[in-house]
Structure 1
Amino acid sequence: MAFVEPVTLRDRGIRLEPLALSHEHGLAAAAADGELWKLRITSVPEPQDTRAYIEAALKMREDGNRFAFAVVDDATGKVLGSTSYHDIVPAVKRVEIGWTWYCQSVQRTHVNTTAKLLMMGHAFDTLGCHVVGWRTDNYNFASQKAIERLGAKKDGVLRGHALRRDGTIRDTVMYSMRAGEWPEAKAQLLYLLERHAQ
């Protein structure tokens, strides 16, 4: 049995459902909203590579080290982007949250906060994780701010850690949250979402 079993998570008009080949056109349209693949610090697929992106995610799911979701508008069924559990380590009950991107039109809305709240809640409350981690490019300052806003703590920087799509080598900023920190982080995220809804 896989540590992360297929599940659909819902809240505040957002649905996270297991990424499938049926999401190909929706995901390509989401990436085209802002031409996100042109950003050198993200993993967004180019439109013609969307199918291969999904196939790679499904292979990683089969191998047990990544579980990708499509992020969907619950009312319209429109695909807004994607996010994943990855670097899944059942032995220490740890997952990381990443491979996250959204179409430009929903960036800086409640979508990311809601998706992260759902994933963190599932990780800590259902999977019983001791730790949830995040990693991001040292030049992706927006991502670093978003991760810190979730209540995650900065663990450090892995220098010369990974290749970017343009061939340069990036430093990776690592973050984590322990299970004991989740109740306070959850309360803060719910507070931010309530304020956003007013």
Structure 2
Amino acid sequence: MSRQEPERPRERLLAHGAHILTSPELLAIVLRTGIKGCDAVSLGRRLIERFDGLRGLLSADAQTLLAIPGLGVAKTCELLAINELNRRALEEGLKTGHALNQPQHVKHYCTAKLGHLPVEHCMALYLDSQFRLITTEEISRGTLTQASVYPREIIKAGLKHHAAALILAHNHPSGLAEPSEADLTLTRHLKKALALVDIRLLDHLIVTGTGAVSLAERGQL
């Protein structure tokens, strides 16, 4: 009696559900094939190790991915598409739901947008009167340590979008989520300026590659 062949990742997913597969196996399904001397599952494992985890891999840009021998245009595009679909799914949830009722969702969205960036970026999430996302706009892009944020530009955009509230978010490429004194000063100044035009500052998130810290939750807003 011959031994039964082990189930391949796609067969296991259909038979048992995606949740039982390892991350390399899930990547293998997306990548479909391996490269010379390396099957798809082994390739997935190598990529995860090279980028110190899934977050690093799925946040990598096209140039970085294309530089990996054997990865190629097709596999690079597949990985980039996964990350973009994830961001869009999170954004879709914020556009239909109440942002104040789903703070973790907001954090995940901001982390997906900013957490992987090598230089400091600041963005604003403009919300309607039901605290649903209207749009997200980049406010500034700075150096590794500083970004110039101009409250008047944030207010101007808020009025253009008829926003009732907004959430500010910026990343710390250093990986340290502690707000600086400049971050706290900006938050206080922006909150007062927005109040003059009846726009509420709901939160200011400090984002790193592993998550986000809420100044509102810490009582620092």
TM-score (norm 2): 0.30
TM-score by length of 1: 0.33
Higher RCO by CA contacts (8 Å cutoff, separation 6 or greater): 1
Q: Pick the structure with more strand per residue.
A: 1
